[in-house]
Amino acid sequence: MLLHTSYVVPEEDRLVVRACKINGCDCSTEACPNAARKLECPKHCKRGCQNQNFRRNICVDLFVAAAPNTEMAG
């Protein structure tokens, strides 16, 4: 019994994050396919990549997103 080849999708292929190829992208916004999917860029991503080891910033990001900037007045 053989499975159809299109049915067999290696999980590794779905989990792997590919290096960003977008010109001028710093991988810090949703313009980056990796950042948009909340995925960390691979270490061999581009030099200006800002999407490396971003896990430590997750809590900070949540606060920044929820906190209004009250220091703009003045």
Residues that bind Zn ion (CB under 5 A): 20, 25, 27, 32, 41, 45, 49, 51
Q: Measuring CA to CA, which residue among 47, 48, 39 is closest to residue 18?
A: 39
Nearest to 38 by CA among 46, 25, 29: 29
Residue 29 vs 60, nearer CB to Zn ion = 29
Residue closer to Zn ion, measured from CB, 9 or 45: 45
Quick one: tokens of 62?
């949540």
For residue 18, the minimal CB distance to Zn ion (Å) is: 9
Give least dist CB 36 to Zn ion, A: 9
What burial letters (b/e) apply to 36-52, b meaning 16+ CB within 10 Å?
eeebbbeeebbeebebe
Nearer to Zn ion, 23 or 70 (CB): 23
